[in-house]
Chains A and B, each alone.
Chain A
Amino acid sequence: MSKPDTIKKEPLIHITKRDAISWQKSMLIRAIAIVCALLFTAVIITILAKQNPFKVYASMFSGAFGTPRRIWNLLNGTCILLGIALAVTPAFRMKFWNCGAEGQTLIGALAAAACMYLFGDKMPLPLFFVVMTLICIVVGAIWGLIPAIFKAFFNTNETLFTLMMNYIAMQLISFFMLIWGKDGSGTLPNMPEFRFPKIAGNEFLLAIIAVLIVCGLMYVYLRYSKQGYEISVVGESENTAKYIGINVKKVIIRTMIISGALCGFVGLLLVANGSCTVNTAIVDGRGFTAIMVSWLAKFNPLYMILTAFLIIFLQCGAAQISTDLRLDKSIGDITTGIILLFIIGCEFFIHYKVHFRKKTKEEHDA
């Protein structure tokens, strides 16, 4: 590569890893990134849609917070996304790239709808709720268990395996919908009689409380339990884990059961505390978005509340933009995508320092 006779030149830019960064500084970098992203998207919106960007942002806020109904939708959306993000987190902490949250949630939702359809009226309602919850959790866990077993024993690539499982789940749903849909329309009827009861007259409160409890439990589990510690060690180095006597196979399988079970539970919430029916679009890509939520929060369950909220806020806002300004729906996707790219990119500046030639340690931000 380099010729021996050339003069040694200092490179224009060189990068060093930061040892530690103060909490405030890392937040500042993230804030700068979000501001940059908003400015950038403002330029894009102005150019593409020939709209005043401030008007766009204003309608974004009204879409998220405009009416009590919208606020509840925002909170419900946040908690569902948070639930799936919590589910993928233990797997991610052990560097098991579970891209199958979509499928695990779908299969949980299918199980819930199947319970309603097949034996909802055959037992008293409280008992039915318990049975349905258990079935959904077990089915989700099985869907997560399958790739885990192969990963543990044959080191099968889990990213690709779980991705495939998503589509298998999706096709299973369309299969059962066609079989059970009486009118041949390929849709299951709504079964609101089996909906979870409202708490204090609010239809979303149950799901929100349930997910917040799970969030707290997950934080404690990952942070303070022996199993949580084992997950972290396996994620850091499998060899270290083996050396100190952790059964890696067992940890992988156990963690994926938890991951899948939680996804199954969210699937249950989507059906039994939401639509009361199932279709292939019920999870709507949130299994993938949840990966971003979890990753952006550095796999910390408490930060995930914030990141899930941010993403749902962006999506609610984007939906409002497209109706208010009669823009194409896709503007929302574009805005969300660009903002996420900026946030992902800014992580670099949190972990690394950029030095320029001849300038002493100049800070560089997004």
Chain B
Amino acid sequence: MIAFLVSAIRFGMTLLFGSTGETITEKSGHLNLGIPGTMCVGAASGCVAASLYYTAASGNLNPVLAVLIPLLATFAGGALMGLIYSFMTVTLRANQNVTGLVLTTLGVGISDYMVAGIEPHTYSSASIFFTTSLPFAKHLGWFGELFLSYGIMIYLAIVIAIVSSLVLNKTKLGLHLRAVGESPATADAAGINVTAYRYGATCIGCGIAGLGGLTFVMDYMLGNWEYVIDSIGWLAVALVIFTVWRPNFGILCSIIFGAFYVASSYLNIDLAAKALFKMLPYVVTTIVLIIISMMNRKEDQPPASLGLNYYREER
């Protein structure tokens, strides 16, 4: 049972990065369907950076640098994807859905290419520093295992989710951002720079989402690349709905999603039932989506101008 929960939390936090990033992006009115591609590129950038550092340090890895360098590279890689997306949708006013889908294709291609070009052992060796937990966790029994046995990325995911939730709801910056996502024309009239907010939120959001890809490779897969990051990305997009656009609530939701995802391997059921089990996150998300639209509560709705570009001259 504990092992199941631990595994659910580890997988869930991968999703949490993606959903927090996508929530920030969606709050600005950008429905970024390029998140799966972004997570791939983020993970690949991190792996390449880890590999370069491994070569540069000729195998003698400094624990702090071995974590920090891939982390920054991942964020930069993700943010770069966000920059392309924003350039296309804000500056060139391209359709958001189409741009996002192209970026997913492009991102998967780029990440496959990047990873194919490096030796697996060079980046997987950094994985051990990502999964190192607090030394005294082992002595605290089930408590230690459940709460303290994770690598740094898991805690980082929670911190980022809480911080973004605070920024979104308690600060002026967050208020402006939400205004941009709800009604860009009103925000513009109030003197908020819609373009800057949309660029900023998308780049930061994509950077965070990229970290999810890195977490999956370095923590959940223990340093092995697997070609499923894009499908995890779609799960993260689904999770945003499930969290009703609240990163702090997302911490719990992502664990539930993680539990759905890993449950099939812990239950003693046949393969066919497992396939049905894997359907669960999507079914639940759909039901949540239906319920929030039926209840029609203002607090639970997607940002009003989600998916719509803003043209000042078309007000």
A: residues with CB less than 8 A from B are 1, 16-17, 48, 97, 99, 150, 154-157, 159-161, 163-165, 167-168, 171-172, 174-175, 178-179, 184, 186, 285, 288-289, 291-292, 295, 328-334, 336-338, 340-341, 344-345, 347-348, 351-352
Residue from A168, A285, A337, A348 in contact with B109 in the complex, judged by beta carbons closer than 8 Å:
A337
Contacts of B286 in A (CB 8 A): 161, 164-165, 168
Which B positions have Cβ atoms within 8 angstroms of A? 31, 33, 84, 88, 91-95, 97-99, 101-113, 116-117, 191, 193, 234, 237-238, 241, 270-272, 275-276, 278-279, 282-283, 285-286, 289-290, 293-294, 296, 302, 306-307, 313-314
Q: Which of A175, A329, A344 contacts B95 (CB 8 A)?
A: A344
Q: Let me know if A295 and B293 touch, CB within 8 A.
A: no
Q: Which of A99, A161, A168, A186 is B271 in contact with, Cβ under 8 Å?
A: A186
A272: min CB distance to chain B, Å: 24
Q: Which residue of B lies closest to A16 (CB)?
A: B313
- Measured between C-beta atoms, what is the minimum distance from A26 to chain B in Å? 15
Q: Are A292 and B103 in contact (CB under 8 A)?
A: no
Main secondary structure of the interface of A (DSSP, over half): helix
Q: When chains A and B are docked, how far (Å) is the Cα of A270 from the Cα of B136?
A: 57
- Interface pair B93/A352, CB less than 8 Å apart: yes
Are the C-beta atoms of B113 and A328 separated by less than 8 Å? yes
CB distance from B154 to the nearest CB of A (A): 25
A-B contact pairs, 29 of them (CB 8 A): A1-B193, A17-B313, A99-B33, A155-B293, A156-B293, A157-B289, A157-B306, A159-B307, A160-B289, A160-B302, A161-B286, A171-B276, A171-B278, A175-B276, A179-B272, A288-B105, A291-B97, A291-B98, A330-B108, A330-B112, A330-B113, A336-B106, A337-B102, A337-B110, A338-B106, A341-B84, A341-B88, A341-B99, A345-B88
- State in angstroms the CA–CA spacing of A168 and B289 once bound together: 15
By a CB distance below 8 angstroms, the chain B residues around A179 are 272
Tell me, rounded to whole Å, the shortest Cβ–Cβ distance linking B211 to chain A: 22
Partner of A171 from B101, B241, B282 at Cβ < 8 Å:
B282
Which residues in A have their C-beta under 8 angstroms from that of B296?
A: 154
Query: Does B102 contact A160, Cβ atoms closer than 8 Å?
Result: no
* Number of A-B residue pairs having CB atoms within 8 Å of each other in the complex: 150
Q: Is there contact, CB below 8 Å, between B109 and A330?
A: yes
Q: Is the CB of B279 within 8 A of A172?
A: yes
Report chain B residues within 8 Å CB of A344: 88, 92, 94-95, 98-99, 102
State whether B106 touches A330 (Cβ < 8 A): no
Residues of B near A330 (CB, < 8 A) are: 108-113, 116
Known: A154-B293, A164-B238. A159 touches B313 (CB 8 A): no
State whether A340 touches B279 (Cβ < 8 A): no
Measured in the bound complex, the distance between the Cα atoms of B88 and A332 in whole Å is: 22
A154–B294 contact, CB under 8 A? Answer: yes
Given A161-B286, A331-B113, does the pair A345, B302 have CB atoms closer than 8 Å?
Answer: no
B103 partner residues in chain A, CB cutoff 8 A: 337, 341
The 10 A-B pairs at the shortest CB distance, nearest first, are namely A333-B109, A337-B106, A330-B112, A171-B279, A178-B272, A156-B293, A348-B92, A334-B109, A330-B113, A175-B275
Q: Tell me how far the C-beta of B163 lies from the nearest C-beta in chain A, rounded to whole angstroms.
A: 25
- Distance of A322 from chain B, by nearest CB (Å): 11
Evaluate contact between B290 and A332: CB separation under 8 angstroms: no
Q: Do A157 and B302 have beta carbons less than 8 Å apart? A: yes
A362–B193 alpha-carbon span in the complex (Å): 27
Residues of chain A within 8 A (CB-CB) of B302 are 157, 160
When the two chains form their complex, are residues B109 and A332 in contact, meaning their CB atoms are under 8 A apart? yes
Flag if A159 contacts B109 (CB, 8 Å): no
A162 to B147, CA, bound (A): 37
Measured in the bound complex, the distance between the Cα atoms of B154 and A322 in whole Å is 38
Complex interface: chain A residues within 8 A of B106 (CB): 333-334, 336-338, 340-341
- Asked if A168 contacts B283 (CB within 8 A), the reply is yes
Find the B residue at minimum CB distance from A155: B293
Chain A, residue nearest B302 (CB): A157
Having A291-B97, A340-B102, A341-B88, one finds 16 other A-B pairs with CB under 8 Å, namely: A99-B97, A150-B290, A154-B296, A156-B289, A157-B293, A171-B282, A288-B101, A288-B104, A329-B112, A330-B110, A330-B113, A331-B113, A337-B103, A344-B98, A347-B94, A352-B93
Q: How many angstroms between the C-alpha atoms of A332 and B105 in the bound complex?
A: 10
Contact B102 A292 (CB under 8 A): yes
Contacts of A17 in B (CB 8 A): 313-314
Q: With A167-B279, A168-B279, A337-B105 given, is the CB distance from A156 to B191 under 8 Å?
A: no
The answer to whether B112 touches A328 (Cβ under 8 A) is: yes
Residues on B with C-beta less than 8 A from A333 are 105-106, 108-110, 112
Complex Cα distance, B117 from A292, in Å, reads 30
Q: Which of B102, B275, B282 contacts A164 (CB 8 A)?
A: B282
Q: Are A341 and B113 in contact (CB under 8 A)?
A: no
How many angstroms between the C-alpha atoms of A165 and B286 in the bound complex?
8
- Which residue of B107, B113, B294 is within 8 Å of A48 (Cβ)? B113
Indicate if the CB atoms of A164 and B109 lie closer than 8 Å: no
B193 to chain A, nearest CB (A): 7
Name the B residues within 8 Å of A150 (CB-CB): 290, 293
CA distance A99 to B110 in the complex (A): 23
Q: Which residues of B contact A99 (CB under 8 A)?
A: 33, 97
Partner of B282, one of A48, A167, A332: A167
Q: Is A292 in contact with B98, judged by CB distance below 8 angstroms?
A: yes
Complex Cα–Cα for A334 and B234 (A):
20
* Cα of A338 to Cα of B105 in the assembled complex, Å: 10
Tell me if A163 and B237 are in contact (CB < 8 A). Answer: yes
Considering the complex, give the chain B residue whose CB is closest to the CB of A48. Answer: B113
| Complex Cα gap A48–B283 (Å) | 42
A161 to B31, CA, bound (A): 13
Contact A178–B98 (Cβ < 8 Å): no
A105 to B27, CA, bound (A): 32
Answer whether A334 and B31 are a contact pair too, CB < 8 Å, given A157-B302, A291-B101: no
A157 and B105 CA atoms in complex are apart in Å by 23
Chain B proximity of A151: nearest CB distance (Å):
9
